[in-house]
Amino acid sequence: MKLSLGPLLYYWSREDTLAFYEQAAAWPLDIVYLGETVCSRRHLLRLPDYLDLAEKLSAAGKEVVLSSQTLIESESDLKALRKLIADGLESGKRPMVEANEWGAVRLLAQAGQPFVAGPTLNTYNPDTLAMLVEMGASRWVPPVEMPREMIQQMLAALPESIALETELFGYGRLPLAFSARCFTARHYNLQKDDCQFRCLDHPDGLVLASREGENFLAINGIQTQSSKVMSLAHRFDELQPAGIDVLRLSPQARNMERVVATFRALADGDIAPAQAPAQLDRFMPAPPCDGYWLGEAGMAYHPAS
């Protein structure tokens, strides 16, 4: 099982972000995804910064992938996307791109470049998955809501000759929804165009609770996440039999190193899945959930028996 570090979904200061990836270079990860997938107003790091980081992380033995923006609205968003693809792929050494909407798929296929089919492409059936492979996908990330059983059905329906890696969102607050509106700006009674970058104050998102105090969701700019942290640590031994090749760990502001270390220990067989929750517990920003994997409400949680 390979471990990947997903794209940073939050907006951190430039120093914090650079320091995070400097440390990540030393973590026992196989793949690191870089790039802004949430909000096109976030500019503290730009493409040249990501390419610098990519070089450092590659030198540290990591495979690097550049993730594309999920919601493309303007011509300047498209310009950034084209640059990401062109600059990212003009030589063999440059990282692959993760396509997070179908415009990126089109551009990558036109360029004849292999790519990662990201979780927001809505790949829900084998026909669509086979088409992505034909267009150049060498890895796919199922929608975060897709249950184990369905992933198995997807893979079983593919011709055996297809070489494709399956990467699952396995740890972190779940990215659930995208909007044209910014809920962080809304919280502060600001217009999105004048948001004063309040996301910087919420490095793990802004928790939204029900009126009886149950933490429910987390606001991250235009993205809405789960408040609970999706974790499949306790079900780690269910992953490989289901066809999962790569497990994605989504960055959080603190203790990410410990999270990575725990999953590495699981992958190496140094700890048993049943032991993992106790180890992870104090490093998580919120309680766990695993419902999607079991085909239930995403917020549900079943400690492994």
Positions that interact with other proteins (CB under 8 A): 70-75, 77-78, 81, 101-107, 120, 122, 124-131, 143-145, 150, 153-154, 156-157, 174, 176-183, 186-187, 191-193, 206-214, 216-217, 219, 224, 226, 291-292, 295-299
Structure tokens at 65: 């992938």
Minimal distance in Å, beta carbon 217 to other proteins? 7
Nearest CB to other proteins, comparing residues 211 and 282: 211
CB 303, min distance to other proteins, A: 19
Q: CA 186: distance to chain centroid?
A: 25
If the CB atoms of residues 1 and 72 are measured against other proteins, the closer one turns out to be 72
Helix axes 75-89, 47-59, angle to 10 degrees: 30
Q: Which is nearer to other proteins, 24 or 129 (CB)?
A: 129
Read off the tokens for 186.
């809304």
Nearer to other proteins, 35 or 119 (CB): 119
Question: At closest approach, how far in Å is the CB of 278 from other proteins?
Answer: 25
Nearest by Cα to 52 from 78, 79, 14, 107: 14
Which is nearer to other proteins, 35 or 142 (by Cβ)? 142
Tokens of 37: 């997938």
Q: Which residues pair with 33 in a beta bridge?
A: 65
Angle at 171 between CA 254 and CA 195, to 5 degrees: 60
Nearest-approach distance from CB 98 to other proteins, in angstroms? 16
For the CB of residue 72, give the shortest distance to other proteins in the complex, in Å: 4
SS3 138: strand
Instruction: Map tokens 């096109």 to a residue.
Output: 40
Torsions phi, psi for 151 (to 5 deg): -60, -40
- Alpha-carbon span 77 to 207, nearest angstrom: 28
Q: Is 74 or 91 the residue whose CB approaches other proteins more closely? A: 74
The separation between CA 254 and the C-alpha centre of its own chain, rounded to angstroms, equals: 17
Least distance (Å) between residue 106 CB and other proteins: 4
